[in-house]
């Protein structure tokens, strides 16, 4: 039920609000069981990448799922081109996934493609026009990378930029978020739970604890700090990609939708506590 909630891209496509990721813990590992567990829990949005080395097992899960392919949202991302065209590379992904299209095709990172971004993006539009990808976007792009693509005003915007986003990178990311809002480029977050999984001793910790307790009182039942972080992203109308191999955690993430909204004061208190520390886990180029 909860997974039918969507965020709308500028082109009108509806993206399920939360996705299950096959990177990080599943990197270079068979993801089939984990993806099937996530689909059984209620996830219909799956996030893959060529660089994760497991598109074939993501494809097996899609083939063996009880949910029809057309009810799923499948994302994958371009790794290194290695002399291939974008179309050849995407066709390789489609073959590994056992699909004839993906819902979203992203440039995983601008790193290594700096001189070719405009041409690669032109090829992304071409494969989208051929129906191999329903939507196209980017990941780990800074303002200057987006500007390279948009230069000349003769092209389409990327529908979204998938970036690390949590309170400890908010201050550094705000100019990018403002740029994206101005151009209608949606933000998709990864790493949203870093303040409870990785950087647990920062200035946000006591604030998150107190707000979680307040939200639980309003909810009349227990709420977790992870759910409050997901609500913080939800308050910004951001698409979320997360992950877990535990059924209980998958349900906890999906159940965040039923948790009361954060008040503007709670959102501001989290912003303020997060701004006291800069901590980034992935894509250090984002700070350059």
Ligand X SMILES: NC(=O)C1=CN([C@@H]2O[C@H](COP(=O)(O)OP(=O)(O)OC[C@H]3O[C@@H](n4cnc5c(N)ncnc54)[C@H](O)[C@@H]3O)[C@@H](O)[C@H]2O)C=CC1
Ligand Y SMILES: O=CCc1c[nH]c2ccccc12
Binding site for ligand X (CB under 6 A): 21-25, 47, 108, 139-140, 162, 190-194, 196-197, 226, 241-244, 249, 282-283
- Residue by residue, DSSP assigns 128-152 as HHTTSEEEEEEES--HHHHHHHHGG
The residue from 27, 52, 190, 253 that is catalytic is 52
Is 219 annotated to bind a ligand? Reply is no
Name the token pair of 195: 């303040």
Q: What values do phi and psi take at 184, rounded to 5? A: 75, 25
Interacting partner of 196 out of ligand X, ligand Y, none (Cβ under 5 to 8 A depending on kind) = ligand X
Give the list of residues 6+ apart from residue 284 with CB closer than 8 angstroms, or none.
none
Q: Which residues is 77 bridged to in the sheet?
A: 106
Taking the least distance from each CB to ligand X, the nearer of 18 and 99 is 18
Minimum gap (Å) between residue 104 Cβ and ligand X: 12
Taking the least distance from each CB to ligand X, the nearer of 25 and 129 is 25
List contacts with ligand Y (CB under 6 A): 23, 49, 51, 108-109, 282
Taking the least distance from each CB to ligand Y, the nearer of 2 and 24 is 24
Q: Quick check: is 101 catalytic?
A: no
Interacting partner of 191 out of ligand Y, ligand X, none (Cβ under 5 to 8 A depending on kind) = ligand X
Taking the least distance from each CB to ligand Y, the nearer of 212 and 243 is 243
Long-range contacts of 129-132 (CB under 8 A, 24+ apart): 130/87, 131/101, 132/87, 132/90, 132/91, 132/94, 132/100, 132/101, 132/102, 132/105
Q: Which of 79, 129, 69 is nearest to 99 (CA)?
A: 69
Interacting partner of 241 out of ligand Y, ligand X, none (Cβ under 5 to 8 A depending on kind) = ligand X
Torsion of CA 60, 63, 67, 70, to 10 degrees: 120
Q: Which residues is 168 bridged to in the sheet?
A: none
Minimum gap (Å) between residue 55 Cβ and ligand Y: 13
Interacting partner of 266 out of ligand X, ligand Y, none (Cβ under 5 to 8 A depending on kind) = none
Taking the least distance from each CB to ligand X, the nearer of 80 and 265 is 80
Minimum gap (Å) between residue 46 Cβ and ligand X: 9
Minimum gap (Å) between residue 153 Cβ and ligand X: 27
Name the CA radius of gyration of the chain, rounded: 18
Minimum gap (Å) between residue 273 Cβ and ligand X: 17
Interacting partner of 171 out of ligand X, ligand Y, none (Cβ under 5 to 8 A depending on kind) = none
* Cβ-proximal residue to ligand Y, closest one: 51
CA distance 137 to 135: 7
CA distance 24 to 250: 16
Element holding 213 (H helix, E strand): helix 204-219
**CA 165 to each of CA 153, 187, 203, 233, 242: distance values in angstroms, whole numbers, following the listed order:** 28, 9, 17, 8, 11
Name the token pair of 176: 């990018």
**Per the annotation, where are the binding residues?**
108
**Per the annotation, where are the binding residues for substrate?**
108
Residues known to be catalytic: 52
């Amino acid at each position: 039920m909860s997974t039918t909630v969507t965020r709308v891209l500028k082109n009108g496509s509806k993206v399920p609000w939360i996705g299950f990721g096959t990177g990080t813990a599943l990197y270079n590992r068979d993801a089939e069981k984990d993806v099937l567990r996530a689909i059984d829990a209620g996830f219909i949005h799956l996030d893959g990448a060529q660089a994760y080395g497991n598109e074939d097992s993501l494809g097996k899960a899609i083939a063996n799922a009880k949910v029809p392919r057309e009810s799923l949202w499948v994302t994958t991302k371009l790794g290194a081109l290695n002399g291939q065209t974008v179309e050849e590379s995407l066709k390789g992904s489609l073959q590994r996934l056992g699909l004839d299209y993906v819902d979203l095709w992203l440039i995983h990172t601008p790193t290594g493609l700096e001189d070719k971004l405009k041409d690669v993006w032109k090829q992304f539009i071409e494969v989208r026009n051929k129906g191999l990808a329903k939507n196209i976007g980017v990941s780990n792009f800074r303002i200057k990378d987006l500007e390279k693509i948009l230069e000349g005003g003769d092209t389409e915007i990327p529908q979204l930029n998938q970036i690390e986003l949590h309170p400890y990178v908010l201050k550094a990311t705000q100019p990018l978020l403002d740029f994206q809002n101005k151009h209608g480029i949606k933000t998709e977050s990864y790493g949203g739970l870093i303040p409870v999984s990785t950087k647990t001793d920062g200035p946000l910790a006591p604030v998150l604890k107190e707000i979680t307790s307040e939200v639980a009182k309003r909810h009349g039942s227990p709420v977790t700090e992870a759910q409050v972080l997901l609500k913080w992203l939800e308050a910004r109308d951001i698409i979320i990609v997360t992950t877990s191999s535990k059924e209980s955690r998958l349900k906890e993430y999906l159940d965040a939708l039923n948790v009361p909204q954060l008040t503007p004061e709670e959102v501001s208190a989290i912003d303020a506590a997060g701004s006291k520390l800069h901590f980034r886990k992935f894509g250090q180029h984002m700070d350059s």
